[in-house]
Amino acid sequence: MSISFSLVSEDSNARLGKIITKRGIINTPAFMPVGTAATVKALTVDQVNQTGSEVILCNTYHLFLRPGVERIERVGGLHKFMNYNKPILTDSGGFQVMSLSKNTKITEEGATFNSHIDGKKIFISPEISIDIQKKLNADIIMVFDECPEYSKDKKRIEDSMNLSLRWAKRSKDEFGLNKDKYLFGIVQGGIFKDLRKICLMELQDIDFNGYALGGLAVGEPQYEMFETVEEISVLMPKNKPRYLMGTGTPGDLLGAVKRGIDMFDCVLPTRTGRTGLAFTWDGKINLRNAQYAKDDSPIDIRVNCPASQLYSKNYINHLFNCNEILASTLLTWHNIAFYQDLMSKIRQSISEFKFQEFFNQHFERLNN
């Protein structure tokens, strides 16, 4: 099966598509659960599959630090290492270098930093990042970029963008000819739309299999993120996937699909699932709250998931109060299933040319 992207249908700017990989088809718009360290926290692979997830994201930075690339490469890559036979996207590590590492020094050559785990000095360049991702045997690989913090300092953002563009070219050169894998470019430029446009045009000159919007959902208000996405997505190639990195809430997803985005990832459904927060079709609920000790209804009967339908709010509340590990498993399972249910219904609404109606019905409630 050769790789390709097909745009199946459009409803205004909302897009219905298929990303074809050698390990299966990803129906878009798609949400990718985050499997940072080769595991979606608290879940087995079978549970992840039961949610309807068609692709997951794993993290280059974390896997590079531990268990190390050689250990994963020795068994044939991430899929065999974690017993997962569907597509995997690996991010390049640029965001984690910014957000997690210590004493980071950015130069033309790459990023030097101290590991957040043991303080060991580490160097990652575009070439090293791509080499790691190829050894991990990911299906979709991201260029190495600098992901700056949210800033209104245009000179700072422009300098970072230009460095990321030079790194993107080096990433493409290192990637070489890989007909079974995708390489995505990352559009940077902060909240400055003119910089985003320049970055996109230069990335298109380099030519990638898909294009991501990076440097968003890093502290800017939602309306600024939506404005940036709306301005740039209409300029992105129609025949290639569009990926908004690190986003987000159910409202974020709905708003970004409305503005032409195809792919998403975020730690939110797993992270909040471990702390008691459930996403439902009625909005967010915190199952740690005492009121749920008397609520014997399931988490959300409308979500096609055993955790959602078979376990009561009362029981989940009890598990969290007792610090039982099962609480994290059940609520994480439910949250990812809810996200996938949301994406499935979004795809259905686009196919029926009813996306705006679906958006109007659900956005306000799911965005709170």
In contact, 143 and 183? CB cutoff 8 Å: yes
Token pair listed for 366: 């799911």
- Helix 250-258 × helix 222-233 angle, to 10°: 30
Among residues 11, 139, 265, 300, the one annotated as catalytic is 265
Token pair listed for 144: 């190495």
Among residues 11, 91, 145, 252, the one annotated as catalytic is 91
Token pair listed for 36: 């940072």
341 is catalytic: no
> What is the DSSP code string of 232-273?
HHTTS-TTS-EEETT---HHHHHHHHHTT--EEEESHHHHHH
In contact, 102 and 116? CB cutoff 8 Å: yes
Where are the strands (E) in 120-196, listed by range?
A: 121-124, 140-142, 182-187
282 is catalytic: no
Residue type, 133: Q
Q: Would you please indicate which residues are annotated as catalytic (active-site) residues?
A: 91, 265
